Amino acid sequence: MSKPLVAILSGAGISTDSGIPDYRGPNGLWRRDPEAEKLVTYEYYMGDPEIRRRSWQMRRKNRTLAAEPNAAHRAVAELERAGVPVRVITQNVDGLHQLAGMPARKVLELHGSARSVVCTACHARGPMEDALARVEAGEQDPSCLLCGGILKSATVMFGERLDPVVLGEALSIAKACQVFFAVGTTLQVQPAAALAGVAADHGARLVIVNAEPTPYDELADEVVREPIGTALPRLLRDLVEARNH
């Protein structure tokens, strides 16, 4: 891999303009409904059919699959199309970077994808839409069509570890990049948050775009508190202009 010039770590804050609520913000899902956390905790999910039924109903009502990319997602894709070597490392599971036009091979999904399901027994994957269609048709806890195993969203649940290959790639990018943007992330969830520190330690210019303070603000070369939908497109346009001069 040639040295990626720009790394963008994106968190829930980049997708709130698309109508997807964040989890840890002042109005975040976990603050409003602590019981909801059980629905995405591996141990509870695997051990309790009632939790699985409630999880499928939550996914059915979830707006993630209907969400559209916003100005921030589009700005990242435009940066890539402008010829800037860019890699996206995302904590989000919504697939909006790819929908905006980022090539899938340039997006690392640290926490998996809500657009797919995976069998916990045989590891077969399939579209989330197909599983949800089965729920709509009356199946409360759809099982794997190949082996009958328990199906789950292809996201990393609480109690599951991140894919070590994906995490390893993310670390390599953090070490190699010249500019590292942390966008819409509290930088409190490890190991993703540590990537900002790794990038700074390896000489990258660290830019944090987030409404709330983060533990890495003092390491940053620039901290931007403005709304992401206007701030990120401007920052990335400036980057392209500076590169072209």
Phi and psi of 89, rounded to 5°? -115, 115
- Nearest-CA neighbor of 92 among 223, 207, 228, 218? 228
Start-end of H helices in 177-227: 194-201
DSSP letter at 150 equals B
Bridge-based pairing of strands 107-109 and 222-224 is unpaired
What's the full length of the chain, in residues?
A: 245
- Nearest-CA neighbor of 85 among 216, 225, 179? 179
Burial of 108 (0-12, 13-18, 19+ CB in 10 A): buried
Rounded CA-CA distance 194/208 in Å is 13
3, 176 Cβ separation under 8 angstroms:
yes
Rounded CA-CA distance 77/228 in Å is 15
Amino acid identity, position 102: M
CA distances from 136 to 25, 116, 143, 199 (A): 31, 17, 14, 45
Let me know if 245 is a catalytic residue: no
Active-site pick, 97, 111, 123, 245: 111
Residues identified as active-site = 111
